[in-house]
């Protein structure tokens, strides 16, 4: 655990030393939220104020941008030779990867706070109880952890940090064909089936219902099941890939 904490501190300091990437990860979701609310919101019917509808999708989008940074950081470590130095100090691969994941969670929580602040300034009004807030935060953290471990595995596959960033484009794109920005029943029939059954839709629906005090049904349990499955598979894959790259 001490190694994990040390590697987490290292990853957070690296993020602080690259302010351009940090600002992009924080500012891009806010800019996209403003674009959707003020450019497109008037033309999209959701049964209420569009800002109330779109904020959960933007929060998931934040995680996608943060995941790209995680993948590139892991790929940079594997390419730069620092892993050999860690091995000489008897620091295991699990600690290194867990440090990147923990730093990703910290970055995403900071981005979430910024998005919530801007959303409140432009009219977002959550109606959640204390239990609803805690449940929504739990779902979001579960998703961020799952996505961060998946991105760490992608960073181990990629041959360069640039390639790792390209691989995560698909992850950042997934919120769009979901219920994040428009209602699924307005989509073409060939796209509707994918949007209804992909993992991000229950995550978004859970947070939307919990934050706005609406009905959520079994969406939170489905979201957590997706997050747990992605995490287990990604951790196992990352362990195998790390050993192969190290050897």
The per-residue pLDDT for range 44-68, each reduced to its tens digit, is 888 788 999 999 988 888 887 777 7
104-133 residue pLDDT tens: 888 888 888 888 899 999 989 998 889 999
- pLDDT band of residue 69 (cuts 50, 70, 90) is confident
d(Cα 99, Cα 90) in Å, to the nearest integer? 15
User: What's the chain's average pLDDT?
Assistant: 84
d(Cα 37, Cα 31) in Å, to the nearest integer? 10
Instruction: Inform me whether the pLDDT recorded for 136 exceeds 70.
Output: yes
Answering whether pTM is above 0.95, one says no
∠ CA 176-179-183 to the nearest 5 degrees? 110
Whether 104 contacts 69, CB under 8 Å? yes
d(Cα 14, Cα 49) in Å, to the nearest integer? 39
CA 68 to chain centre: 9
217-226 residue pLDDT tens: 899 999 999 9
Going through the chain in order, the beta strands assigned E by DSSP cover: none
What is the structure's pLDDT at 207? 93
191-202 residue pLDDT tens: 999 999 999 999
**230 vs 84 pLDDT, higher one:** 230
Residue 167, token pair as written in the block: 């691989």
d(Cα 179, Cα 195) in Å, to the nearest integer? 7
What is the structure's pLDDT at 213? 85
| Terminal alpha carbon distance of the chain | 24
């Amino acid at each position: 655990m001490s190694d994990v904490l040390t590697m987490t501190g290292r990853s957070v300091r690296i993020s602080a030393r690259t302010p351009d990437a940090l600002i992009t990860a924080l500012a891009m979701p806010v800019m996209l939220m403003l674009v959707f609310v003020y450019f497109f919101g008037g033309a999209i019917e959701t049964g209420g104020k569009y800002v109330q509808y779109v904020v959960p999708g933007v929060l998931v989008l934040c995680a996608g941008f943060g995941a790209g940074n995680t993948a590139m950081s892991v790929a940079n470590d594997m390419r730069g030779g620092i892993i050999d130095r860690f091995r000489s100090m008897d620091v295991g691969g699990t600690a290194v990867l867990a440090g990147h994941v923990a730093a990703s969670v910290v970055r995403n929580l900071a981005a979430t706070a910024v998005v919530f602040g801007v959303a409140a300034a432009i009219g977002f009004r959550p109606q959640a109880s204390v239990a609803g807030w805690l449940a929504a935060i739990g779902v979001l953290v579960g998703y961020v952890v799952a996505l961060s471990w998946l991105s760490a595995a992608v960073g181990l596959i990629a041959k360069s940090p640039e390639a790792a960033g390209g691989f995560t484009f698909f992850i950042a794109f997934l919120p769009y064909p979901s219920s994040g920005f428009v209602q699924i029943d307005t989509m073409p029939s060939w796209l509707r089936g994918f949007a209804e059954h992909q993992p991000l839709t229950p995550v978004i629906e859970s947070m939307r219902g919990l934050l706005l005090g609406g009905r959520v049904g079994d969406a939170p349990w489905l979201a957590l099941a997706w997050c747990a499955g992605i995490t287990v598979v990604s951790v196992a894959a990352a362990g195998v890939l790390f050993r192969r790259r190290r050897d």
